[in-house]
Amino acid sequence: MSRPHEDRERHTLVDHRPGGDPVTFAHGSWVVLGVAHVKAERADACVSAYETLLEKAATSKTRAHPAAIFLSKNQRRVVTLAGVAGHDGFKAIAAAWDDHHREAQHRAVAESVSLGLFAVSGSIGAAAIDPASHDAMDYEQFLHPIPGAAALFSPTTAPDTFRGAMLLSGDDGRTNVIVSRFSLAEAYAEFRSEHRATTALGALGEGGTLSFPVHAVRTFA
């Protein structure tokens, strides 16, 4: 169902359409990952802008699919994932998104935007992204390698609340991302705290960490 939102800064109508089919990013595939920092009152406008960009990219020569848009719980960050063929696909999307941000700069939709190319280095359990799911999801980004990251979510260490996770490794050789799913909110934070001293989770709290709960707003198969 469409949920219109008023863009109060420019008095235009922003149409936010949540939903989409569950999508999965295959192991070893390339994805463009973007993180936009926004004002909470501009979150819906930012989501709508990225919906438009991803819809265009999915039908263009870049063939950016599957794709997904996440919104943080506090509505201060919008995360986008878009599957691409590799470096050429990343360059095409980066150029298109740079052009869009320059044209829309006067609207100040996002305070800052980062964009990078990542490889899917692991897919554990129910890693599909489903806007209809009620599971709690967390996005966490690190500016250092995470040795044995997949083992963090093995049956011997993961709690019953764990549902799945997707691991992403940056093409820059140092940035890593975990997108995890748990049946209960706050379960990932408790999991990290419990295993910090005994597993590779001990490295997760070190410098460069960006961590926040998210939910899937829109997917594109």
| Range list of H helices, the chain | 43-59, 87-103, 187-195
How much is the mean pLDDT over the chain?
80
| Residue 106 pLDDT level (bands cut at 50, 70, 90) | very low
Q: Token pair for residue 210? A: 């960006």
Average pLDDT, integer, range 157-179: 91
Q: Is the per-residue pLDDT at 70 higher than 50?
A: yes
pLDDT band for position 2 (cuts 50, 70, 90)? very low
Q: Evaluate if residue 98 carries a pLDDT over 80.
A: no
Question: Do 33 and 48 meet the contact criterion of CB atoms below 8 Å apart?
Answer: no
Return the closest-CA partner of residue 10 out of 37, 38, 36, 42.
Answer: 42
Residue 11 identity: H
Return the DSSP state at 26. Answer: P
Has residue 176 got a pLDDT over 50? yes
| Rounded CA separation 15/85 (Å) | 30
The mean per-residue pLDDT over the stretch 62-78 comes to: 89
Please name each of the domains of the chain with its CATH number: 3-220 (3.30.70.100)
Residue 18 gets which letter from DSSP? -
The reported pTM is 0.83
- What is the mean predicted confidence (pLDDT) over 172-188? 90
Instruction: Read off the pLDDT of each residue in 122-139 and give the average, rounded to a whole number.
Output: 92
CA-to-CA distance for 34 and 80, rounded, in angstroms? 5
Give exposure, 16-33, as e/b (b: 16+ Cβ within 10 Å).
Answer: bebebebbbbeeebbbbb
Confidence of residue 108 (pLDDT cuts 50, 70, 90): low
Q: Is 176 in contact with 170 (CB distance < 8 Å)?
A: yes
pLDDT at 8: 40
Tell me what the mean pLDDT of segment 27-36 comes to.
94
Give the separation between CA 189 and CA 205, rounded to whole angstroms.
Answer: 11
Evaluate whether 40 touches 111 at the Cβ level (below 8 Å). Answer: no
Instruction: Please tell me which residue, 65 or 24, carries the higher pLDDT value.
Output: 24
Taking alpha carbons only, the member of 117, 107, 111, 108 closest to residue 64 is 117
User: In the prediction, which pLDDT does 17 show?
Assistant: 55
* Best CA proximity match to 60, nearest among 100, 3, 23, 20: 100
Q: What is the pLDDT of residue 13?
A: 40
Q: Which two tokens stand for residue 104?
A: 């829309």
Give the side-chain half-sphere CA count within 13 A for 118: 31
Tens of pLDDT, residue by residue over 131-156, are 999 999 999 888 877 777 788 788 87
How many Cβ atoms from other residues are within 10 Å of residue 125's Cβ? 15
Q: Write out the two tokens for 100.
A: 């869009």
**For position 6, what pLDDT does the model report?**
39
Phi, psi of 143 (to 5 degrees): -100, 40
